Amino acid sequence: MPIVDAQIHTWGTGLPSNLSHWQITQFTPEQAIALMDAGGVDAAVIHPPGWDPNSTEMAFKAVRDYPGRFAIMGSLPLDDPESRARIATWREQPGMLGLRYAFLHEPMRQWLADGTIDWLWADAEKAGVPIAMLATDSLADVARIAQRHPALRLTIDHLGGRGGFTTLKDAAAMVHIPELLALAKFPNVAVKATGAPGYSSQGYPFASMHPYLRSIYDAFGPTRMFWGTDISKMPCSWRQCVTMFTDELPWLSSQDKQLILGDALCAWWGWNRTA
């Protein structure tokens, strides 16, 4: 069963601006490969972080150096008029699957709400470019976008929560779940079940997160629920992030696990790892 991590960051310089990440000056694809091999992870999607201006080029090099093991969810500056012209050919870049943005802070959150970046959804839909997003406070806006652009594949990051941008744990970190589950009625919306251990105040197997994972599974199903770690801010090993799903969620069938831990993500984002 191929295991594919829906989100990691790699970087070669600078300290992460989000203090929840490992405060180290580099976490390279080579280092990631060693940990992935130890944890039984076959592949991962790199989300180049903004704190390293060279992180995107590092990700492209990882795609070249490790065929089939890395792909990329990149970004374009949404306040640059020249970005729009690049959407049509975005996926022609080797290893590039789509776009990913955080809409937790201003002005990004306002742009999502007031229509400033409505061109993004239209152009990405036309070009077949999937978009992933952190948007905890804007899930109602995501519903509007999903309804208007039914061919645009949207993915909500980190169980719909704030990921490492919050220190809240357990139920306090999951108050948004009803709004997230309401998005399941749109067949073009999926959820990354990334970073679940980081929301738990408990140790492995992070049982406080299991009911929320079950509710997401029940609403979205295994074809729209993607395992992943955001490993550089997890309180555990890569292997424990894997076995939390493979060994600790008895309601997942073997077929469910194959989908959630890799196959569904590759289908949703159009990653042919053998190409």
CATH code (residue 214): 3.20.20.140
Domain membership of residue 59 (yes or no) is yes
Q: Can you list the alpha helix ranges (DSSP code H) found in the chain?
A: 29-39, 55-65, 108-114, 118-127, 139-148, 177-182, 210-220, 238-246, 254-258, 264-269
Structure confidence at residue 125 (pLDDT)? 98
Q: Which are the contacts of 160, defined by CB distance < 8 A and separation ≥ 6?
A: 135, 136, 139, 176, 177, 179, 180, 191
Average pLDDT, the chain: 97
Domain membership of residue 22 (yes or no) is yes
Domain membership of residue 275 (yes or no) is no
Structure confidence at residue 73 (pLDDT)? 98
Q: Is the pTM of this model over 0.75?
A: yes
Tens-place pLDDT, residues 123-170: 999 999 999 999 999 999 999 999 999 999 999 999 999 998 889 999
The amino acid that residue 30 corresponds to is E
Domain membership of residue 127 (yes or no) is yes
Domain membership of residue 85 (yes or no) is yes
Domain membership of residue 149 (yes or no) is yes
Residue 19 has pLDDT above 90, yes or no: no
Domain membership of residue 134 (yes or no) is yes
Structure confidence at residue 267 (pLDDT)? 98
Domain count, the chain: 1
Tens-place pLDDT, residues 209-242: 999 999 999 999 999 999 999 999 999 999 999 9
Which range of residues forms the domain containing residue 185?
A: 4-269
